[in-house]
Amino acid sequence: MHAVVLCPGPSLRRYLAAPVGADLTIGVNRAAEAVRCDWLAAIDCGIVSHMKIKGNPALFTSSKTWGRALAEGAAPSRFCEVLSHEEIRFTTTCPASPGWKVFSITTALVLAEFLQATEIELFGADWNGIADWDRTIPPNATQTRSPNRWSAERHKFDHVLKWLERDCGIQVSQHRNN
């Protein structure tokens, strides 16, 4: 199964200019504001509670984030299904390191494996700067999108990528600005 994982970085514009057909579309955070997705992967309660998502995707998040979102008034009807990281831990080969749960991009990749993707195309994962594809600078971006933060996320991403390609046999293609 061919999956597309869309992150909100500047290279998401490449996808928006020429969408790639796929069996499964997973939006990471604000990317689900730009594209109607089958799934939203998000671990930030504010994203889950208040983001203006297109359509009615399923949500992949942690039980803790979902509980906080509900307590803050998130409408469960925003999502056609909710699946937690904790629910899949015994049904997929998940990377040995629990660090895959720390970043939304890595949770999206683990979700794609769980949903039986055999090929993944990744757009919008640029690991630099603070602005999204639409040049919006999200609240707290100056604190959460530092070079150190991008380096930490990239390290976890590389670990999950190696697991996908080596252990799961999933081909991952990255489309980003260089």
Residue type, 131: A
CA end-to-end span of the chain: 28
Using one digit for the tens of pLDDT, what is the confidence trace for 81-117?
A: 999 988 887 666 666 666 888 899 999 999 999 999 9
Pairing of the two strands 24-28 and 58-61: unpaired
Q: In the beta sheet, which residues pair with residue 28?
A: 41
Which tokens in the block code for residue 20? 């790639």
Domain layout of the chain by residue ranges: 2-175
Residue 139: band (very low, low, confident or very high) from pLDDT cuts 50, 70, 90 = confident
pLDDT band at 178 (very low <50, low <70, confident <90, very high): low
When pLDDT is cut at 50, 70 and 90, the band that residue 78 belongs to is: confident
The burial class, CB within 10 Å (0-12 / 13-18 / 19+), for 4 is buried
Q: What is the mean pLDDT of residues 25-53?
A: 91
Report angle CA 89, 176, 3 to the nearest 5 degrees: 40
CATH match for 2-175 among 1.10.1740, 3.40.50, 2.60.40, 3.10.450: 3.40.50
| pTM of the model as a whole | 0.93
Greater confidence (165 vs 144) lies with 165
**Quick one: what percent of the chain has pLDDT higher than 70?**
94
| Pick from 167, 154, 142, 163: nearest CA to 7 | 154
